[in-house]
Structure 1
Amino acid sequence: MNYRHAFHAGNFADLVKHAALLQFLARLMAQAGPLSVIDTHAGRGLYDLAGVEAKKSGEADAGIVRLMAAADAPAEFAPLTAAVRKLNGAGPVRRYPGSPWLVADALRAGDSYLACELRPEEHQALRERMHGRRGVRTLCADGYDVAAEQTPPAGQALVLIDPPFERADDYPRIVETVAAVWARNRSATALVWLPLKDLETFDGFLRDLEDEAAGPLLICETRMRPLTDPLKMNGCALVLLGAPAGMTAPLEAICGWTAHTLGEGGTAKVYAL
């Protein structure tokens, strides 16, 4: 596969995903007991926005750079912007944290995080960045294959699923992975990120997931432009499975601001299934 997240780090989809992730983690960590987090497609954990890839795409300039300069961003982005400021100080936004960095920073004593990454060179970079972090393990493996077996059979668990969607079987494998996780631990929760290209593909995925779901689904659509060209990434979606109470309003704020401020005639909606 040719996908490298370095081209896309800090883009609008990262803003939605990471702001939502931090809101999700805060609510799970407000509950009693340790939390286990399993990340199926972790990436390298930290990205250089001054690198060749990021500069070539320009997506960070249209995403995190605009967010950091915005005076009207809702408070729900504050945990993400604080993490970015911590990395960059008072200077320009050069470094951007991926999910592994954000999760590792949020862990409490007793919590654990397993970051899976299939590509050897990306995993090596991830392992170096996570070295010495309390409660953190990395694994060079297909996260779909190991997510369920690495999920504890009881207690709080969060599975993050964010594949590159360069394989034809990503959608069914997400459904299979979620079903396997729930078969092992009925109290587990999940956050799935998906591109929005056309509604037929997305609606088909939701129907398949509903058939396997052991709990309610919360759907967040961030449409950056009308879904008229299925060859373009016209937006992104998050599917939260077993989301804790109070997630709807933060997600509406995150997705709404991103679509309306950074999009081209963008719209957003959050709804339950």
Structure 2
Amino acid sequence: MNYRHAFHAGNFADLVKHAALLHLLARLTEGAPLSVIDTHAGRGLYDLEGLEAKKSGEAEAGIGRLMAASDAPAAFAPLTAAVGKLNGGGGVSRYPGSPWLIAEAIRPADSYLACELRPEEHSALGEALKGRRNVRTRCADGYEAAEIAIPQSGKALVLIDPPFERADDYARCVDAAAAILARNPDAVLMIWLPLKDLATFDSFLGDLEDATSAPLLVAETRIRPLTDPMKMNGCALVFVNAPAGLQGPVEDACRWTATALGQGGEARVYQA
């Protein structure tokens, strides 16, 4: 696998994903302890001054524009606060991946398992999260680890965010979701996917609906019309067992991203 998120950290898709993740965590870190599992954690922190980020320019067009925007909705406030905290209130030279955001958001009674298959990325992940007593990292296949580690009862959140370099990633997402929900029917899942063409995405949704009877909330952020399946034309989030109150802020984040950062973009948020 050649995917390196350092080229894409802080791009439009990260903005949507991480804004939604923080709102989800805010709702789930109330009351009973929460178990969080991240199947494709990455390295945890990203250097936006590095060669990869500078070469792609995606962070400048994403988090750079968000931090400078005067019209961004309140849905982005938790994310911009987290990015500001990480950077000491100055310019944006570092961007937090999901592991850093999760580790910062959970409580002492909660737990977090971050899985990363690539040894060099896992090493960096361990360094980024070191010293946190309720956090574990594992150099392992995240799909398999989540199916084993998911608690059979209690509150649980599983983030499934593969790079989609492998042809079977769509099928493995569905299989993992079904296995996780078979063990813990009340688990909350957040699945991130690229949007290239509707046929692929609709097929995934159909397979997921066939695999589970749990309610689905779907959020599509299209930064351009879905006319060229060779391009990443947007991204989608699929929530399983989404908590009440999540749809509003997710829709606000998707709509701003699609219109402010896209070209002929649009957003769709709906119950499937």
Q: Same fold (TM over 0.5)?
A: yes
CA offset at residue 248 of structure 1?
A: 1.2
Structure 2 length-normalised TM: 0.99
Matching residue of 1:112? 111
C-alpha distance in 1, partners of 2:74/2:90?
A: 22
Matching residue of 1:2? 2
Q: Is the 8 A contact 1:182 1:214 kept in 2?
A: no
CA offset at residue 107 of structure 1?
A: 1.0
Q: Over aligned residue pairs, what C-alpha RMSD do you find? A: 0.6
2:9 maps to a residue whose letter is: A
Matching residue of 2:16? 16
Q: Secondary structure at the match of 1:60?
A: helix
Matching residue of 1:222? 221
2:117 maps to a residue whose letter is: L
C-alpha distance in 1, partners of 2:116/2:89?
A: 32
Q: Is the 8 A contact 1:100 1:115 kept in 2?
A: yes
Matching residue of 2:26? 26
Q: Secondary structure at the match of 1:218?
A: strand
Matching residue of 1:93? 92
**Which stretch of structure 1 is more off in the superposition, 127-136 or 109-118?**
127-136
C-alpha distance in 2, partners of 1:135/1:167?
A: 31
CA offset at residue 91 of structure 1?
A: 2.2
Deviations 1:124-153, CA, capped at 9 Å, x for gaps: 000111111131000000001111110011
Structure 1 length-normalised TM: 0.99
C-alpha distance in 2, partners of 1:69/1:89?
A: 16
1:237 maps to 2:236: yes
Matching residue of 2:131? 132
Q: Is the 8 A contact 2:25 2:106 kept in 1?
A: no
C-alpha distance in 2, partners of 1:118/1:83?
A: 26
CA offset at residue 214 of structure 1?
A: 3.2
Matching residue of 1:252? 251
Matching residue of 1:82? 81
Q: Is the 8 A contact 1:260 1:266 kept in 2?
A: yes
C-alpha distance in 1, partners of 2:50/2:108?
A: 34
Matching residue of 1:193? 192
Structure 1 unpaired stretches of 5+: none
1:129 maps to a residue whose letter is: A
CA offset at residue 211 of structure 1?
A: 0.6
Deviations 1:84-141, CA, capped at 9 Å, x for gaps: 0001123211000000000000111210000000000000000111111131000000
C-alpha distance in 2, partners of 1:148/1:248?
A: 27
Q: Is the 8 A contact 1:186 1:214 kept in 2?
A: no
C-alpha distance in 1, partners of 2:223/2:248?
A: 19
Q: Secondary structure at the match of 1:61?
A: helix
Matching residue of 2:150? 151
Matching residue of 1:179? 178
C-alpha distance in 1, partners of 2:108/2:114?
A: 18
Structure 2 unpaired stretches of 5+: none
1:132 maps to a residue whose letter is: G
CA offset at residue 213 of structure 1?
A: 1.7
C-alpha distance in 1, partners of 2:33/2:147?
A: 18
Matching residue of 2:269? 270
Deviations 1:231-257, CA, capped at 9 Å, x for gaps: 000000000000001111111100000
Deviations 1:40-71, CA, capped at 9 Å, x for gaps: 00000000000000000000000000000001
C-alpha distance in 2, partners of 1:90/1:27?
A: 26
2:15 maps to a residue whose letter is: L
C-alpha distance in 2, partners of 1:134/1:82?
A: 24
